[in-house]
């Protein structure tokens, strides 16, 4: 961050079952044999084994964009525009000259997607995970979609804890926010559930404690990267420093992910 673009890994989370509101809006607008994906951007590809849900900003506007003949992506228009220049949308009918010309087949606020069931690549929750709301998602960063790894991201841990506590208020089923938190990597300082450890010991009470969460995020990132060892997956037993790029390449190779610069 700071100098030059951020090199993210974008992940393709395939829709298995739409929320009723999204289903209504999308009916008849997408070919029956096409797949639709939510595409979160992450800096921690090595943690994707621990995904338990995927966040959207409830009041952020999202588009469903045609990426190729058989594939549509859900993200912000800003991100779709960037993808046009990064070779990701390889089969668009019209190359747009500006963001106005880039037309989604459907446009909806994040709130419409809440409850949608998706398949998260590498996640040990193979039964699928849900789209859930996160108030602190920024429309101006990444793709506007954030995959949730509560074992290693303090923001994600604080958010799922809040969602489970106030499920009714957030209009979600409690169990959607209570999928088991899976240990993905172990660090010397914080053990197997880094985010839980930091949020609890730093007494972070809410996803809106942004100062403390920024500090926790920094600690988690550094400790994970320099002193982390993988507990699961293809690179189990390897140092995070080595596994990080290997998981990224593996995701890109399998077609479950692609590079995304912001």
Complex with ligand A2H: residue 24 or 129, whichever CB lies closer: 129
CA gap 155, 130 in Å, rounded: 17
Window 151 to 170, contacts with ligand A2H (CB under 6 A): 152-153, 156
Site map for ligand A2H, 2-41, x if CB under 6 A? Answer: ----x----------------------------------x
Choosing from 19, 116, 119, 147, the residue that interacts with ligand A2H (CB under 6 A) is 147
Window 215 to 234, contacts with ligand A2H (CB under 6 A): 217, 221
CA gap 169, 131 in Å, rounded: 16
Choosing from 137, 179, 193, 230, the residue that interacts with ligand A2H (CB under 6 A) is 137
**Tokens coding 2:** 């700071």
Choosing from 12, 25, 36, 42, the residue that interacts with ligand A2H (CB under 6 A) is 42
Does residue 142 interact with ligand A2H by CB under 6 A? Answer: yes
Place of tokens 């974008």: 10
113: which DSSP letter?
A: G
* CB 95 to ligand A2H: min, Å: 25
Complex with ligand A2H: residue 68 or 183, whichever CB lies closer: 183
Does residue 194 interact with ligand A2H by CB under 6 A? Answer: no
* CB 258 to ligand A2H: min, Å: 15
Give Cα 195 distance to the centre of its chain: 16
Closest C-alpha among 152, 122, 142, 125 to residue 228: 152
Q: Which residues bind ligand A2H (CB under 6 A)?
A: 1, 6, 41-44, 47, 137-138, 141-142, 144, 146-149, 152-153, 156, 217, 221
């Amino acid at each position: 961050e700071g100098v030059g673009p951020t090199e993210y890994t974008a992940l393709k989370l395939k829709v298995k079952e739409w929320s009723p509101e999204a289903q209504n809006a999308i009916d008849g607008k997408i070919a029956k044999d096409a797949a639709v994906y939510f595409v979160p951007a992450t800096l921690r590809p090595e943690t994707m084994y621990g995904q338990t849900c995927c966040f959207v900003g409830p009041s952020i506007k999202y588009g469903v964009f045609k990426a190729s003949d058989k594939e549509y992506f859900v993200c912000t228009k800003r991100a779709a525009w960037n993808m046009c220049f990064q070779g990701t949308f390889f089969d668009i009918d019209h190359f747009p000259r500006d963001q106005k010309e880039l037309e989604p087949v459907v446009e909806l606020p994040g709130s419409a997607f809440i409850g949608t069931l998706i398949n998260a690549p590498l996640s040990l929750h193979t039964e699928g995970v849900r789209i859930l709301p996160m108030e602190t998602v920024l429309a101006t960063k990444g793709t506007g979609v954030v995959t949730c790894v509560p074992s290693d991201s303090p923001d994600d841990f604080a958010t799922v804890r809040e969602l489970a506590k106030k499920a009714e208020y957030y209009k979600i089923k409690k169990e959607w926010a209570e999928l088991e938190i899976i240990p993905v990597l172990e660090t010397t300082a914080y053990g197997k559930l880094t985010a839980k450890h930091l949020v609890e010991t730093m007494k972070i009470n809410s996803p809106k404690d942004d100062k403390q969460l920024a500090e926790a995020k920094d600690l988690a990132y550094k400790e994970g990267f320099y002193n982390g060892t993988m507990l699961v997956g293809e690179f189990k037993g390897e140092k995070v420093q080595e596994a990080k790029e290997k998981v990224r390449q593996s995701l890109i190779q399998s077609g479950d992910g692609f590079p995304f610069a912001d």
